[in-house]
A and B are shown apart, each in its own frame.
Chain A
Amino acid sequence: MSALLSIAGLKAGYDDAAVLNGVSLDVDESEVVCLLGANGAGKTTTMAVLSGLISSTGGTITYDGRDLGQLRPHQRVEAGIVLAPEGRKVFPDLTVEENLLLGSFTHRARSMRAQKFSEVYGLFPILAERRGQYAGLMSGGEQQMLALGRALMANPRLLLLDEPSLGLAPKIVLTVFDAIRRIAQSKISILLVEQNAYAALSVASRGYVLRGGVITSHGSANRLRNSAEVQQAFIGRVHHTDANVAVR
């Protein structure tokens, strides 16, 4: 079976600073894949290239059997690649409902608007409660739920999640990852970028480890969880119980 998203030898950077030095990874149809890495490894850059915000300097990105090449960001959204950006980036001056409305901006999403609204409000009932409220006045956790909901409104086929746990209390991280698990059941493919390796591996079926702009290892979530590299770099050597799932 050919992958939905296939990246081969991807290179990218900012001006003279090369960040990605040949990243290769695959995401299959309705699969959750996580990309782990420390600060500065190139995780967010990978996301920026995938969503078209910055252009690559080498390598290929194949999505649904065609080369993404120089497709502009809005065209990628129209094709079903939707990014929920790092740090949430909700529209603070817009209400919750207006934020979600903007999520269904594309042709692809518009006809599905009513259905997506009920899906998102079902997934995050708090958003339905707060739908008349300005997004800027919500807590970090609620804003993250809104960012996820807004991305879902775009009717994605491939959802790119950049650090959904960033800056959230451990309890909220559990809620957010629970939601991601439920999104994954609806046949949407997810590429998840995380520093919180344990939480990421709990929802993903496979994972890749990014270091200095190259993939240093990959495998099933189980294998990565027990691998020395991941243990050492991201989880720490202590023995784990479910109690510290959310604690980095």
Chain B
Amino acid sequence: MPKVVVRVFLLIASVAFLALPFINSPVLNDLTFRICLLIMVAISWNLMANAGLISLGHSAFWGVGCYATMFAANLFALPLIIGLLFALVAGALIGLIFTLLTARLRGFFFAICTLGLSEGLRVTSLMLPDLTGGAVGMFLNQPIPRLEVFVLAAVGAFLCIVFSAFLTQTRFHFACRGMRNHEGAAQMLGVDPRPYRLAVVGLSAAMTSYAGGLSAIYGAYIDPSIAFDLRVTVQSQIAPIIGGMYTVAGPIIGAFVIVVLADQTRVLFGSSEGISQLIFGIILVLAILFMPKGVVGLWERWTSRRVAGSNTPIQHPLVHPKVTTAERTP
């Protein structure tokens, strides 16, 4: 497919997506809202995974976003949009502090710490009833601007997609992939992993925090087990894995698949308790078994790009255009 066609298609799709809230169909709005939130969370998780940082604790960032937005709205009576900015900043700060504290940890040890972070924050918020309402939770004491929430979710998802696509053209992205493959070897080529780790986790946490803030406004109520729900952690991973890890399109496709699949299994098999979730689970297991590289991997296999020794090598934009085949021969 020519690149122009793809670009035009993507442009139309994104305009349509941003316009959806204005059609104002409640079911459609709810669906797109949840897809948008999952897109942000999935892109955020994928961003960290791409740098070799496997997170088992994205619900930590989500929950921080929930509480930051709620505090801004309830305690300081600030407009909700300021609350969302609070969520962005608070998420990034938590991400940065966490990264500084776990600077020397890699692999499993880092992953376990992220899980600890989300559970630790959940218990902490439970034990501060004066601030968070404890297990009773807290209600949003402002009216919910439905349309604005939908638009902000669509815009947020759109910006995350554009940002993650833009990143693939940068040195930043290359440094991250190098770190994922072999951190020591990347260091030997002059990559200093520390600033990249900080930036990746900070950005990732801010994205998920923003999504969490939106969900808190949308639900108008949070308690520690809603804010730091492990479901966010699980979904943040499943979506990129189903769609295709380390790719731009993967988390987006995955988010669509997960939300629609969960809804449809509930509609079709919701009559008997638990069956719908069982079927949802079985589909996910089969998907991972038969497409380990996700939907994107399947697509690439069909169109078979990047075959070993291919005659049409990918000319990367970062390679200096002046290098021609003629110059390469000695």
Contacts and interface: CB of A to CB of B under 8 A. Distances in A.
Nearest to B174: A102
A72 B192 contact: yes
A137 B329 CA distance: 24
A181 interface: no
A94 B314 contact: no
B185 interface: yes
Interface stretch (A17-25, A122-130, A163-171, A183-191): A122-130
Contacts of B313: 95, 97, 131-132
Interface string A77-106: 110001111000111111101100111011
Interface in B279-330: 306, 308-310, 312-314, 316, 318-320, 322-323, 325, 327-330
B199 interface: no
Given A94-B178, A97-B319, A117-B323, A137 B308 contact: yes
Interface residues of B, number: 36
A118 B309 contact: no
Contacts of B174: 98, 101-102, 105
A21 to B, nearest CB: 25
B184 A85 contact: yes
Contact of B182 (A72, A77, A89, A125): A89
B259 interface: no
B327 to A, nearest CB: 5
B246 interface: yes
A101 B185 contact: no
Contacts of A82: 188-189
A53 B187 contact: yes
B145 interface: no
A93 B181 contact: yes
B266 interface: no
Contact of B190 (A89, A94, A105, A137): A105
6 nearest CB pairs, A to B: A132-B313, A77-B190, A114-B320, A91-B181, A106-B190, A122-B330
A154 B318 CA distance: 15
A113 interface: yes
The interface centre, meaning the residue of B174, B192, B306, B320 with most chain A CB atoms within 10 A of its CB, is: B320
Contact of A102 (B184, B186, B308, B314): B186
B184 A118 contact: no
Contacts, number: 121
Contact of A154 (B189, B325, B329): B189
B185 A91 contact: yes
Interface in A103-152: 103, 105-106, 108-109, 113-114, 117-118, 121-123, 125, 128-134, 137, 150-151
Contacts of B184: 53, 85, 89
Contacts of B320: 113-114, 117
Interface residues of A, number: 47
A74 B319 contact: no
B230 interface: no
Contact of A132 (B177, B188, B312): B312
A195 interface: no
Main secondary structure of the interface of B (DSSP, over half): loop
B34 interface: no
Nearest to B330: A122
Interface string A179-210: 00000000000000000000000000000000
A73 interface: yes
Contacts of B181: 91-94
Interface in B145-198: 171, 174-175, 177-178, 180-182, 184-192
A51 interface: yes
Interface in B253-285: none
Nearest to A112: B320
Nearest to B180: A93
B189 A132 contact: no
B312 to A, nearest CB: 7
Nearest to A129: B309
A89 B185 contact: yes
Q: Which of A73, A82, A103 has the most CB of B within 10 A?
A: A73
A74 B192 CA distance: 6
Contacts of B178: 91, 94, 102, 105
A109 B174 CA distance: 15
Contact of B314 (A125, A130, A132, A150): A132
B189 A150 contact: yes
A1 to B, nearest CB: 28
A130 B189 CA distance: 21
B190 A154 contact: yes
A77 B192 CA distance: 10
16 contacts: A74-B187, A74-B191, A83-B188, A84-B188, A85-B184, A89-B184, A93-B181, A94-B181, A97-B319, A98-B177, A102-B175, A103-B189, A105-B175, A129-B309, A137-B308, A151-B189
